[in-house]
Amino acid sequence: MEVVILPGSRQIASLVSDAIQALLHRKPDAVLGLATGSSPLPVYDELALRHERGVLDFSRAHGFLLDEYVGLEPGHPESYREVIRRDFTGRVNIAPENVHGPDGSAKDLPAACQAYEAAIRDRGGVDLQLLGIGTDGHIGFNEPGSSLASRTRIKTLIEQTRRDNARFFPSLAEVPHHVVTQGLGTILDSRHAVLVATGAQKAQAVHDLVEGPLAAICPASALQLHPHASILVDEAAASSLKLADYYRHSYDHKPTWQGL
Ligand code: GLP
């Protein structure tokens, strides 16, 4: 696991975009794991900008969403399918049919979850999985207590997560209680996991993820098992890290050929 502490979200966005740019140049039909939430927005802005400038071509790329609400009708403005279209995929030349998400409106949810796992596998797996982190340490919608080996499935949201996400809905009552999410095991299968976190409200979760024990109480700590995880944080989100100086030193002295 590599922890990179940067001054702010612009620098984080630039570094993630460099990694995605290098990936797409190496593998134009790469599979990107897409996250919603506010943390990845500067990354999507930077990718859209690079696309406009002709630096980035997504025409052969694929995207797989991490998660989706259960029970929102297809096309609902807050469904993650719609959110990711507005925030990212609708702003670049990725083919709409190449953007996939778990089906939260399926009648048979377990079958839809299995089909989603199969779709990821059939595409050859996720090359780069972008992640945010919830204040309770969730990634995707894997709430505390999630099995570290879990696959795509239905989950019940913790009230704090519903409250955190209520800002996107007319009222708290309209935030669904249920979601479908890639499991921690699914996320661990990605070739490169890139988690971004900014702001003091994420400091505890970032500490638990990086320096806490590997434990289901902090689902993001599962990334300690990932062979290639990059944790990109600003100073505020890094403020509870015990080994912050070591992470800074390592990054400052990193061989330039290594990349993210
Ligand atoms: C939601 C998403 C997560 C995201 C989290 C944090 O719960 N399912 O993927 O990481 O929110 O969101 P934000 O980046 O807005 O703090």
Answer yes or no: is 133 within a domain: yes
Which tokens belong to 22? 């290098």
Q: How confident is the model at residue 256 (pLDDT cuts 50, 70, 90)?
A: confident
Please provide the average confidence, as pLDDT, over all residues in the chain: 97
Residue nearest to atom 3 of ligand 1 (CA): 140
Mean pLDDT (whole number) for 150-174: 96
- For the question of residue 136 being annotated catalytic, the response is yes
- For the question of residue 138 being annotated catalytic, the response is yes
Environment class of residue 153 by beta-carbon count within 10 Å: exposed (0-12), middle (13-18) or buried (19+)?
Answer: buried
pLDDT of residue 258: 87
Residue nearest to atom 9 of ligand 1 (CA): 140
pLDDT greater than 90 at residue 24: yes
Quote the domain boundaries for residue 166.
Answer: 2-252
pLDDT of residue 156: 98
CA separation for the pair 43, 131 (Å, rounded): 11
CA separation for the pair 39, 17 (Å, rounded): 14
Answer yes or no: is 259 within a domain: no
Give the number of the atom of ligand 1 that is nearest the alpha carbon of residue 181: 8
CATH number at residue 147: 3.40.50.1360
Helices 41-52/9-26 angle, 10° precision: 50
- For the question of residue 143 being annotated catalytic, the response is yes
Answer yes or no: is 257 within a domain: no
CA separation for the pair 35, 130 (Å, rounded): 6
Say if CB 195 and CB 209 are below 8 A apart: yes
Distance from the alpha carbon of residue 165 to the mean position of ligand 1, in angstroms: 8
Residue nearest to atom 1 of ligand 1 (CA): 37
**By C-alpha distance, which of 252, 198, 191 is closest to 64?**
191
Answer yes or no: is 222 within a domain: yes
* Residues contacting 51, CB < 8 A, separation 6+: 57, 58, 91, 92, 93
Catalytic residue among 46, 68, 143, 208: 143
pLDDT greater than 90 at residue 154: yes
Answer yes or no: is 199 within a domain: yes
Answer yes or no: is 41 within a domain: yes
pLDDT of residue 259: 85
Mean pLDDT (whole number) for 78-91: 97
Distance from the alpha carbon of residue 197 to the mean position of ligand 1, in angstroms: 10
Answer yes or no: is 260 within a domain: no
CA separation for the pair 214, 137 (Å, rounded): 12
Domain count, the chain: 1
* Pocket residue to mutate for ligand 1, from 16, 141, 146, 160, most atoms within 8 A of Cβ: 141
Distance from the alpha carbon of residue 257 to the mean position of ligand 1, in angstroms: 32
Distance from the alpha carbon of residue 131 to the mean position of ligand 1, in angstroms: 8
